[in-house]
C-alpha cells in the first residue's frame, strides 16, 4: 500500500461567501455550514484507490468529480472506494460540512469547533489487501508467559500468505506464516515483557500479505501484553491491585480547537505522568489517534467515549450516531494497550435501550476490555441499570462540598468496583484544603476495601481550562471553564500543588507501611511448577480477618486491609498466594526431573500452629505424579510442615515454628494488625525422575494453606 497525503491548502468557503485558502487539518469557530474543496492528481497506479478521512466535526457530505461518495459522522475514520471515479489528473474533491445543526456532534458542554480536524489521505492498494489485524492476549503462568491471538480480515481474493513477525526492542520474538483466509491464530510468548505505567513495554507487530513473491500489503502496529480486570472492589493490572489516579483532559487547548500541535499534547501527557497519575480520561469524544500512541509509549492508562454530554439517548439520531462512533473508535483503537476500558456515555439520563446496545457493541467488538459509562445519576438507578446492561464496574461523579455523597455511593455500589470518573468542580477549584480532605477520604475508602465502602479509582475534573460561554459563574468566568489544574497557557492554578501533593503524601505513607525481612537467603530454585489457579483476594482478606476460633480471653475480627499479599514481588514467587480452602485442590504442572521439591509458603490462615489446630494434624496431602505413572504422597502436618501465617495473635507476638520448615520471609503492612510469615519447606522424594504434576488436596478440617510457589531442586 502507498499513501498520498491531501493535507495542505484547500479552498474554503462559508455558506455562499467568498472563497479563501485554509490549511487542512484545521479547526475553526463554528460557522453553521462551510465547504472545502481540493483538486488533486493521483500519484500512483494501483488496482484499488480509496480516500480516507481521519476525523471531521461534525457532519459532512463528500463528492468526488460530482459523484456522491457518502456522509461523514463526527470524530471517526471513514474510507470510500474511488477506484472507478478517480482520474489520473484533475480530481475535484468537495466536502460540505455542518458544524452547529447536527443533532449528534455539537455539544453544550464545551465550545464547538468545525473543521477537517485530522488527516485526509489517498490509499493505494492491490486487489487483495489487509483490512484489519486485531491483537489480543491472555496472560498465564503467573504472568510470566502469554498467548496472543491475531484475528485477520482481508479484502479481495483469497490468495497468498500472511507473513507475521513480532519484535521486541528490534529483535524477533516470534514469526510464522499462514495462508490468506486464515481467520485467527493463537501463538505463545515465553518470558513476556508486560505493559504497565511503570514499564510501558511495547512490541512491534508486522504482517505482510505476500503473493507470488511480492508484498501486496503491510500492516504495522505497536502492541502490548497486559491484563486489566476486576476483583470485587478493586481493579487489577497484570494481577496486581491498582488504584486509578487520573485527570480528565479535553483535546482542546486554547484557541487551537481540535488541531493541537502534537508537541503540546506530549508536554501535557508527560507532565501528568510525572506528577504521579497513572490514568487519563480522554473526555468526552474520541481524540486524535496520535494521543493514544503517546499514552502507549509514556505509560498512561486511558479510556475513550463517543461524544455524549447530557444527551438525550432516546433520540434516534443521537442513539444511532453515538453507537456508530463507538463502533468506529473501538475498531480503530482496540490494539492499544493503554486503553483499559470503554466508557459508553458521559452524564446522560439512563435509557435502557441505549445502555444495552452500547454495552453490547463494546463486548462484541472487543470482548477482552471492561465497559462502563461516566455517570452522575442516582445510586439506586446506577445499581439497577449498570447490572441490567452488564457494565463491568460502577461510576459516579460525587460533586459536592462535602463527602456524604461519595460515601453513600461507596456504600451502595459495593458488589463491583466503583470509580469516580469525575470529582472536584467549582466546589473545590479555589479550596486547596478541601482538595486534600477529599483525597484522604478516597484513599480511606480504597484501603477499607469492604462492602461498607470501597473505591477503585478517582479522576479529577479537570486538567486544562477550555473555552465555555454557556454556564455562568462560578463554573465559568469570562468564557473560561474554571475548575482545572492548569490554565489555558499551562500555568498552575491555585489547586494544582494541593492536588498532586496530597496524593504524593498518601502514596508515601502507604508505601512505607509495607516492609519485609528476608530470613532465608538461599536462592530459590529456577524450575517452577505452574499453577493456573487465581486467588480471590477479597475472599482471602475476609477469611484472614475472621475472628480467632479459639479464644484467649475474647474474640474479635482482625483488621485486615491487604492480607498476606506481597506488595514487592520476589522473583519467581506469586505476589498473591495460592489459597487452599476446605474441599479444594491445587494443581501445579511441571515436567522436571528432580528428587526434591521446595515449597515457598507452607502457612495457614484461620488454623495453624502454634495457636490453633492439633500439633501433627494433617491439613492437606501432596500428591506427586511421575511421568511413568508412579505416585508419591506426602502429608502436610500442622506444626511439622506448616505454621500459622500470622506472627501475632490478638495483642501478642508469637513465634510460629515448624519442625521440617524454615522461616523464609516476614512481612508487614500496618504493624498493629498485619504481620505475616512465609516458610520454606523442602520435601525429599523417593525417586529422581520426571515429575509431570503435583496436586495439593485439602483435608476439609479448617486449614486454609497458602503457597507462593513450588519449585524443583
- Residues 272-304 have pLDDT tens digits of 999 999 999 999 999 999 999 999 999 999 999
Distance separating alpha carbons of residues 239 and 228, to the nearest angstrom: 8
pTM: 0.77
The structural domains of the chain, with segments of one domain joined by +, span 2-125, 129-223, 240-513, 516-712
Euclidean distance between CA atoms 183 and 324, whole angstroms: 24
Residue 672: predicted pLDDT: 77
The CATH code for residues 129-223 is 2.60.40.10
* Cα–Cα distance for residue pair 316/620, rounded to 1 Å: 61
Q: What is the DSSP track for 375-419?
A: --S-HHHHHHHHHHHT-SSEE----SSSSHHHHHHHHHS-SS-EE
Highest-confidence segment of 379-393, 445-459, 512-526, 563-577: 379-393
pLDDT in tens, 659-688: 999 999 999 887 778 899 999 999 999 999
Which of 354, 229, 333 is closest to 291 using CA atoms? 333
d(CA 682, CA 661): 7
d(CA 235, CA 295): 19
* Residue listed under C-alpha cell 451502595: 412
Question: Looking at 379-388, 460-469, 525-534, 589-598, which range is the least confident one?
Answer: 525-534
Residue range 180-219, pLDDT digits in tens: 999 999 999 999 999 999 999 999 999 999 999 999 999 9
Task: Please tell me the predicted confidence (pLDDT) of residue 555.
Answer: 44
| Banded pLDDT at 624 (limits 50, 70, 90) | very high
Give per-residue pLDDT as tens, 477-512.
889 999 999 999 999 999 999 999 998 887 665 556
HEC profile of 280-302: EEEECCCCCHHHHHHHHHHCCEE
The arrangement of secondary structure in 240-513, i.e. its CATH architecture, is Alpha-Beta Barrel (3.20)
Q: What is the DSSP string of 504-549?
A: HHHHHHHHHH-EEEE---SPPPSEEEB------HHHHHHHHTSPPS
Residue 557 has pLDDT above 70, yes or no: no
- Indicate the Cα dihedral angle 83, 88, 92, 94, nearest 10°: 30
Of residues 393 and 713, more confidently modeled: 393
Compute the distance between CA of residue 177 and CA of residue 273 in angstroms, rounded to an integer. Answer: 39
Cell of 449: 476495601
- The H or E element spanning position 211 is strand 203-211
Nine cell digits for residue 384? 439497577
Classify strands 120-125 and 48-53 as parallel, antiparallel or unpaired.
antiparallel
User: What's domain 2-125's architecture?
Assistant: Sandwich (2.60)
**Burial letters 131-164, b for 16+ CB under 10 A, else e:** eebbbbbebeebbebbebebebebebeebbbbbb
Rounded Cα–Cα distance for residues 393 and 414 (Å): 10
**Cα 582 to Cα 42, 618, 701, 704, distances in angstroms:** 72, 13, 7, 7
Question: Residue by residue, what is the 3-state secondary structure of 151-192?
Answer: EEEEECCCCCEEEEEEEECCEEEEEEEEECCCCEEEEEECCC
Judged by phi (left if over 0) then psi (alpha if -120 to 50, else beta), residue 148 lies in beta
The answer to whether 276 and 198 have CB atoms below 8 angstroms apart is no
pLDDT of residue 77: 98
Residue 336: helix, strand or coil by DSSP?
A: coil
**pLDDT tens-place string over residues 348-359:** 999 999 999 999
Can you tell me the distance from the alpha carbon of 53 to that of 43, in angstroms, rounded to the nearest whole number? 18
Cα separations in angstroms, 278 against 69, 446, 501 = 42, 16, 15
Find the distance separating the first CA and the last CA of the chain, reported in whole Å.
54
Q: What is the largest CA-CA distance in the chain?
A: 95
Residue 491's H or E segment, with its range, is none
Q: For the segment 559-609, what is each residue's pLDDT rounded down to a tens digit?
A: 777 889 887 667 788 889 999 999 899 999 989 999 999 999 999 998 999
pLDDT band at 398; cut points 50, 70, 90: very high
Eight-class DSSP state of 497: H
Amino acid at each position: 500500500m502507498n499513501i498520498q497525503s491531501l493535507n495542505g491548502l484547500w479552498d474554503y468557503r462559508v455558506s455562499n461567501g467568498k472563497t479563501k485558502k485554509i490549511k487542512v487539518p484545521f479547526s475553526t469557530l463554528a460557522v453553521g455550514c462551510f465547504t472545502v474543496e481540493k483538486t488533486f492528481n493521483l500519484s500512483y497506479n494501483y488496482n484499488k484507490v480509496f480516500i480516507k478521512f481521519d476525523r471531521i466535526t461534525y457532519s459532512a457530505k463528500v463528492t468526488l468529480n460530482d459523484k456522491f461518495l457518502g456522509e461523514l459522522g463526527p470524530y471517526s475514520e471513514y474510507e470510500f472506494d474511488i477506484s472507478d471515479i478517480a482520474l489520473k489528473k484533475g480530481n475535484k474533491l468537495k466536502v460540505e460540512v455542518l458544524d452547529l445543526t447536527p443533532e449528534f456532534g455539537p455539544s453544550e458542554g464545551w465550545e464547538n469547533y468545525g473543521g477537517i480536524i485530522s488527516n485526509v489521505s489517498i490509499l493505494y492498494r492491490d486487489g487483495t489487501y489487509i483490512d484489519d489485524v486485531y491483537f489480543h492476549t491472555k496472560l498465564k503462568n503467573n504472568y510470566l508467559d502469554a498467548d496472543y491471538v491475531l484475528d485477520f480480515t482481508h479484502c479481495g481474493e483469497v490468495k497468498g500468505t500472511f507473513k507475521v513477525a513480532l519484535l521486541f526492542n528490534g529483535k524477533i520474538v516470534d514469526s510464522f506464516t499462514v495462508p490468506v483466509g486464515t481467520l485467527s491464530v493463537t501463538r505463545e510468548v515465553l518470558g513476556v515483557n508486560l505493559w504497565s505505567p511503570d514499564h510501558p513495554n511495547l512490541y512491534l507487530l508486522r504482517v505482510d500479505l505476500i503473493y507470488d513473491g511480492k508484498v501486496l500489503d503491510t500492516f504495522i502496529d505497536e502492541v502490548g501484553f497486559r491484563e486489566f480486570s476486576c476483583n470485587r472492589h478493586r481493579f487489577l493490572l497484570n494481577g496486581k491491585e491498582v488504584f486509578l489516579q487520573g485527570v480528565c483532559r479535553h483535546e482542546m487547548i486554547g484557541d487551537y480547537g481540535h488541531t493541537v500541535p502534537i508537541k503540546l499534547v506530549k508536554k501535557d501527557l508527560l507532565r501528568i505522568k510525572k506528577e504521579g497519575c497513572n490514568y487519563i480520561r480522554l473526555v468526552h469524544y474520541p481524540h486524535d489517534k496520535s494521543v493514544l500512541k503517546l499514552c502507549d509509549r509514556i505509560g498512561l492508562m486511558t479510556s475513550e467515549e463517543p461524544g455524549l454530554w447530557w444527551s438525550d439517548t432516546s433520540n434516534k439520531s443521537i442513539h444511532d450516531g453515538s453507537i456508530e462512533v463507538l463502533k468506529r473508535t473501538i475498531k480503530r483503537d482496540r490494539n492499544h494497550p493503554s486503553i483499559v476500558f470503554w466508557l459508553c456515555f458521559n452524564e446522560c439520563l439512563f435509557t435502557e435501550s441505549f445502555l444495552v446496545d452500547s454495552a453490547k457493541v463494546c463486548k462484541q467488538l472487543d470482548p477482552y476490555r471492561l465497559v462502563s459509562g461516566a455517570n452522575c445519576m442516582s445510586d439506586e438507578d446506577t445499581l439497577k441499570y449498570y447490572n441490567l446492561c452488564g457494565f463491568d464496574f460502577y461510576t459516579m461523579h460525587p460533586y459536592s462540598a462535602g463527602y456524604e455523597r461519595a460515601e453513600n455511593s461507596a456504600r451502595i455500589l459495593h458488589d463491583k468496583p466503583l470509580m469516580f470518573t469525575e470529582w472536584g468542580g467549582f466546589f473545590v477549584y479555589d479550596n486547596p484544603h478541601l482538595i486534600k480532605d477529599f483525597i484522604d477520604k478516597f484513599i480511606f475508602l480504597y484501603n477499607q476495601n469492604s462492602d461498607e465502602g470501597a473505591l477503585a479509582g478517582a479522576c479529577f475534573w479537570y486538567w486544562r481550562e477550555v473555552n465555555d460561554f454557556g454556564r455562568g459563574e462560578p463554573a465559568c468566568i469570562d468564557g473560561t471553564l474554571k475548575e482545572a489544574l492548569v490554565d489555558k497557557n499551562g500555568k498552575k492554578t491555585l489547586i494544582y500543588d494541593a492536588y498532586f501533593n496530597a496524593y504524593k503524601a498518601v502514596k508515601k505513607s502507604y508505601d512505607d507501611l509495607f516492609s519485609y525481612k528476608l530470613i532465608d537467603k538461599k536462592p530459590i530454585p529456577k524450575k517452577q511448577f505452574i499453577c493456573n489457579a487465581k486467588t480471590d483476594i477479597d475472599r482471602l482478606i475476609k477469611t484472614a480477618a475472621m475472628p480467632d476460633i479459639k479464644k484467649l480471653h475474647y474474640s474479635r475480627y482482625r483488621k485486615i486491609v491487604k492480607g498476606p499479599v506481597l506488595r514487592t514481588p520476589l522473583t519467581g514467587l506469586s505476589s498473591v498466594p495460592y489459597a487452599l480452602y476446605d474441599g479444594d485442590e491445587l494443581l501445579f504442572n511441571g515436567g522436571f526431573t528432580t528428587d526434591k521439591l521446595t515449597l515457598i509458603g507452607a502457612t495457614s490462615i484461620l488454623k495453624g500452629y502454634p495457636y490453633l489446630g492439633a500439633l501433627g494434624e494433617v491439613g492437606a496431602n501432596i500428591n506427586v505424579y511421575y511421568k511413568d505413572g508412579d505416585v508419591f504422597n506426602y502429608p502436610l502436618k500442622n506444626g511439622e510442615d506448616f505454621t500459622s501465617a500470622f506472627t501475632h495473635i490478638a495483642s501478642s507476638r508469637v513465634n510460629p515454628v515448624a519442625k521440617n520448615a524454615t522461616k523464609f520471609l516476614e512481612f508487614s503492612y500496618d504493624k498493629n494488625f498485619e504481620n505475616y510469615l512465609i516458610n520454606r519447606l523442602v520435601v525429599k522424594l523417593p525417586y529422581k525422575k520426571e515429575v509431570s504434576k503435583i496436586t495439593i488436596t485439602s483435608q476439609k478440617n479448617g486449614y486454609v494453606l497458602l503457597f507462593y510457589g513450588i519449585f524443583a531442586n
